[in-house]
Amino acid sequence: MDAAMLYALRDPAGVPSHPLVFLVLGVLTWALHIAAVQVMLGASVLTLFGALKIDRYWRRLAGAMLATAKVAVSVAIVLGVAPLLFVQVIYDPFWYTANVLSARWVIAFIVILIAGYIALYAFYYRNQNLAAQPTRGAWHLLISLALMLVVGWIMHVLSYQMLLPEQWMSWYAPNGRIDPSGQSLHGYSVARFAFFILLSVAVIAAWLFAYRRYLMARPDSDPGYLAWLLPLAQRLMLAGGLLAVASGAVWLATLPEKMAWFASSGWVWAGAAALLLASTLPRLLGQRLDRGLWGYLPFGVGAVALIVVGAAREALRFFTLFGAHGYNALDYKLNLDWYSTVLFFVTFAVLGGVVLSYLLTVAWKSGQSQGVYTPSPAITRLGNLSIGLLVLWIVQYFAIGFYVWAR
């Protein structure tokens, strides 16, 4: 596939803001997406583990992790849409071709995701108090986990197929006979997928440190449970670090020839250093984990490490497509649209900032108070402001739409 053909597949309308904006936002939002995916997977596995035990601390943890998994799956889905939008803007020749080649799986993706989501809620519906009641129907959770992994596998294949334009024709027309069915998943790397999935172990460990610190601030915190959580989180962090190193090494050792440069690049060293720091941080912090905001630091540093890993993943894509196929994602035709650019950033910063601050404050405070939580007047004002801003956003959206339509 030569560069001219790839460029011909671009949208002639161009992009509404500088391509670098889409590239950077793609990396940032993908890192958030994968963080939520990893919390969801890690929390689901811990739930399954705990639900099969009789130990009261394990059962208590299972209840808490089920609540985490339920929220994390929604966050993962919402935060999956953002990189989906960015990748299809600057890499459209690759993304759409990869999708069309496996079209049935792209459509099945949604159905499988819905089934996985329902299975998780079916488990929750039957086990609303895991800490106090025996487990009913653990297989619901097992099915949910399996389906979520299939969903992730489909996303992996699409991300991977886009890197292999030289194979597209042989997938589309094997032995010269066209197969337009889109029924196969053609290109994949088990080691790459394993790396992103196994990182869940370290991510859920970092989450457990934060969960433990959060519980400490509650008036009814249970010292026995907190003491039990600490070595569990530490063991998971160690295991997670080792699994990430092992699967990452296999991935790098099995890179196809045109991507081999990546294995010895500074990107890999930066990613490895960030992951190493994140996984050793809890040991370095020691007793400080129980004081102030230190207990939340492993998760914060873990999130930054995921951004570095996301940047390395993006570098692999950008430079492979540029170096081996002559495609420069940053020379996309620019057709600047100030309204949509400003609207995006204002929505993100102002609306996102205010509404998220309100929701997170209420969730945080209600979790740390006993009995019925009543928000303070300042928090209530923040809630009213959130609703006001949402209404204003919807009004301006339709007003501009009607104005453009009527002109």
Q: How far is the CB of 157 from ligand HEM (least distance, A)?
A: 8
User: Structure tokens of 17?
Assistant: 């803001």
Position 148 contacts ligand HEM (CB under 6 A): yes
Pick the binder of ligand HEM from 196, 251, 299, 327 (CB under 6 A): 196
Strand partners for 251: none
Residues 47, 65 contacting (CB under 8 angstroms): yes
Position 267 contacts ligand HEM (CB under 6 A): no
- Indicate the Cα dihedral angle 250, 113, 315, 164, nearest 10°: 80
Position 83 contacts ligand HEM (CB under 6 A): yes
Q: How far is the CB of 156 from ligand HEM (least distance, A)?
A: 4
Q: How far is the CB of 217 from ligand HEM (least distance, A)?
A: 31
- The piece of 4-12, 26-34, 59-67, 271-279 that touches ligand HEM (CB under 6 A) is 26-34
Nearest residue to 314 (alpha-carbon basis) of 270, 266, 267, 248: 267
Q: How far is the CB of 106 from ligand HEM (least distance, A)?
A: 11
Pick the binder of ligand HEM from 97, 159, 161, 320 (CB under 6 A): 159
DSSP 176: G
What does the DSSP assignment read for 266-294?
HHHHHHHHHHHHHHHHHHHHGGGGGSTTG
User: What is the rounded CA–CA span in Å between residue 114 and residue 121?
Assistant: 11
CA dihedral (16, 18, 21, 23) positive or negative? positive
User: What is the rounded CA–CA span in Å between residue 275 and residue 10?
Assistant: 36
Q: How far is the CB of 40 from ligand HEM (least distance, A)?
A: 7
Pick the binder of ligand HEM from 35, 65, 113, 210 (CB under 6 A): 113
- The piece of 14-22, 138-146, 149-157, 370-378 that touches ligand HEM (CB under 6 A) is 149-157
Q: How far is the CB of 68 from ligand HEM (least distance, A)?
A: 14
Position 202 contacts ligand HEM (CB under 6 A): no
**Nearest to ligand HEM by Cβ — which residue?**
80
The H or E element containing residue 60 is: helix 56-90
Position 160 contacts ligand HEM (CB under 6 A): yes
Closer of 198 and 229 to ligand HEM (Cβ): 198
DSSP SS3 for 183 = coil
Position 77 contacts ligand HEM (CB under 6 A): yes
- The piece of 25-33, 45-53, 244-252, 395-403 that touches ligand HEM (CB under 6 A) is 25-33
User: What is the rounded CA–CA span in Å between residue 33 and residue 265?
Assistant: 25
- What φ, ψ does residue 21 adopt, rounded to 5°? -60, -45
Classify residue 329 as exposed, middle or buried by CB count within 10 Å of its CB (0-12, 13-18, 19+): buried
- Interface with ligand HEM in residues 34-73 (CB under 6 A): 37
* Footprint on this chain of ligand HEM (rule: CB under 6 A): 26, 30, 33, 37, 76-77, 80-81, 83-84, 87, 113, 148, 151-152, 155-156, 159-160, 192-193, 196, 313
